Chains A and B, each alone.
Chain A
């Protein structure tokens, strides 16, 4: 039998329903796996095995009490959570030194809903500090490795979550996506990631980076799991003033029913701007293979244009940094955790306390973005930068409106390249920003989109790295149901999960046994 950590949420749920296994068995399997593998991958910032086992026992009690298997699908399922979600009595650091000792005073709405579903909490995952980055290298605490090649990044900012799902360190995870932070790491780690329409998952209790762009979403092993996770947390929340009243569909049920016939007659748009300069050859090839697949399944593939795509990164880095500079004003050295006190020189005024705490507490990329945003909002520059970027955002929305009048769904690559090397883009921030070229405009337009793995690079070469390639599917506003169904058919037809697995061989971990065992002990102590 396959180890439990390899199974999907829906498979585990099936076994729990039949009472063939217990949640404590699943949870134990994950904890063992984490102790063994995570010292190499560094998916987690904190784990709490005791709490996880307690959650599992509680879930088992719920399962035992229900006779007909009528318990929520997430009952007894071990999940990891990006360290940006507040969860009462756990540390929420946002991978920042400035929040290193910050204890969450309350539950975010997402966590509240997951608790109502009796989920098992494994731990908090690593990320770029304040979700600012595309590689998880901006974490103040550790660098997460890509399970497909540990010399490479897992993407970011939800890199810990994506690497964890990919390496079997959790059954699923929740991340956040401001400019691609769910979809790009999902693509680089060969898993499924979904960024829903702005407003359908409550942002209440999620640490804010850029409030008009931030959106929570699931990262999962397959499309059906993604649908299960989405359904369990979506919905209107009066505590989030950008939350939206809408009809939550039964996404898992729709996905289960989705057959090849749903593709027939669909118009799928391929934006020419997504296939331009900078797109890696193998990525291009894999996306073209899926384009052919769409045709075989009876879809009409149409080349479309999103003419203002080239402005999206520039507009994004004005809007996101402006909002960030304002959102991050609250870290003043007084109200949250970290305060810098100059022991030698106890004088100094309140202003120095602000400046010193922020300067020592924030990492380099965060400071860079606060500076850029402060500049864009400063007197004399507001019209030229913030206002202009907001108007360009309208152009981008119009591009998508026009496109969705012609096609039902849009498809293309999620990221221009497969996973890049650790350190490769850290020297040049702009090159890092450009790696989000295909994902950013979706956030600007409040649209839903997801990434699914469709192939592997370097297939015809013995030396080249074998790295996953993700395809992005973009749907009209609130059409998550249709997007998931299309993704499911492509997933079934491509059969990625059956063909490929990250090369996490047992020997890989045995070789460095001393080091790994030592680190495993350390990580087990993190709490």
Chain B
């Protein structure tokens, strides 16, 4: 830790662009925040492994209410997987609808349900 942010490089990765004058401001702010975040290095996490917690509430809820152990992320039940219609995944099809131009006739530009974008290959 204790490294400074290379603003120009991160800007490229994030697909953002700042004017020269803005870069200095962002640089100062982000590095100040980073200085604060660097306090994390003092936390003793040597005995911990893995990034995600499988929460077992049994021990915790104890005298409050008896509940079963609950994993953080949902475990799909077998029958449910089968029941889900693969074609739509059980979703409202509008969710994956990509022809936004139907809603916004002006932009983004579209043609027959496709988005028009600038040329990628010369």
Partner-B contacts on A (CB < 8 A): 101, 103, 105-106, 198-199, 238-239, 241-246, 308, 310-311, 313-315, 317-318, 325, 329, 332-337, 339, 341, 348-356, 358-359, 362, 367-368, 370-372, 374-375, 378, 381, 384-385, 387-395, 397, 400-401, 404-405, 408, 429-430, 433, 446, 476-479, 482
Q: Which residue of A lies closest to B49 (CB)?
A: A391
15 contacts between A and B (CB under 8 A): A198-B72, A329-B15, A335-B100, A351-B15, A353-B117, A359-B16, A370-B14, A392-B43, A397-B53, A405-B62, A429-B29, A430-B36, A446-B55, A446-B72, A478-B70
Name B117's contact: one of A334, A337, A358 (CB within 8 Å): A334
Known: A314-B40, A334-B117, A336-B100. A477 touches B16 (CB 8 A): no
Inter-chain contact B15/A358, CB cutoff 8 Å: yes
By beta carbon, the residue of chain B nearest A386 is B51
Evaluate whether A238 and B90 lie within 8 angstroms (CB atoms) in the complex, with A388-B41, A394-B45 already known: yes
Complex interface: chain B residues within 8 A of A238 (CB):
80, 84, 90
The distance from the CB of B12 to the nearest CB of chain A, in whole angstroms, is: 9
CB neighbours (8 Å) of B44 from chain A are: 395
Judged by a CB distance under 8 angstroms, whether B30 is at the interface is yes
A352 partner, pick from B51, B53, B118, beta carbons under 8 A: B118
Cα–Cα distance between A325 and B15 once the two chains are bound (Å): 10
The residue among B5, B11, B14 with the most chain A CB atoms within 10 A of its own CB is B14
**Any A CB within 8 A of the CB of B86:** no
Interface contact A355-B17, CB-CB below 8 Å: yes
The answer on a CB contact under 8 Å between B74 and A241 is: yes
Known: A105-B103, A337-B100. 19 other contacts (CB 8 A): A105-B94, A105-B95, A244-B74, A311-B43, A318-B37, A335-B108, A336-B100, A349-B119, A358-B16, A371-B10, A371-B14, A372-B33, A388-B41, A391-B43, A391-B51, A392-B43, A404-B64, A430-B33, A477-B57
B-side residues, CB < 8 A to A, are 1, 3, 5, 7, 9-11, 13-18, 26, 29-30, 32-34, 36-41, 43-45, 48, 51-53, 55, 57, 59-65, 67, 70, 72-74, 80, 84, 90-92, 94-95, 97-98, 100, 103-104, 107-109, 115, 117-120
A311 to B115, CA, bound (A): 45
- With a CB–CB cut-off of 8 A, which chain A residues contact B120? 349-350
Cα distance, A317 to B35, chains bound together (Å)? 12
Contact, CB under 8 Å: B40 / A239? no
Instruction: Decide if the interface of chain A is mainly helix, strand, loop or mixed.
Output: helix
Tell me which residues across on chain A come within 8 A of B104, comparing CB atoms: 101, 103, 337
Contacts of B18 in A (CB 8 A): 359
The distance in angstroms between the C-alpha atoms of A370 and B44, with both chains bound, is: 28
Find chain A residues with CB under 8 A from B39 CB: 310-311, 314
For A317, give its contact among B17, B37, B84 (CB under 8 Å). B37
**Known contacts A105-B103, A238-B84, A476-B64, A401 near B59 by CB under 8 Å:** yes
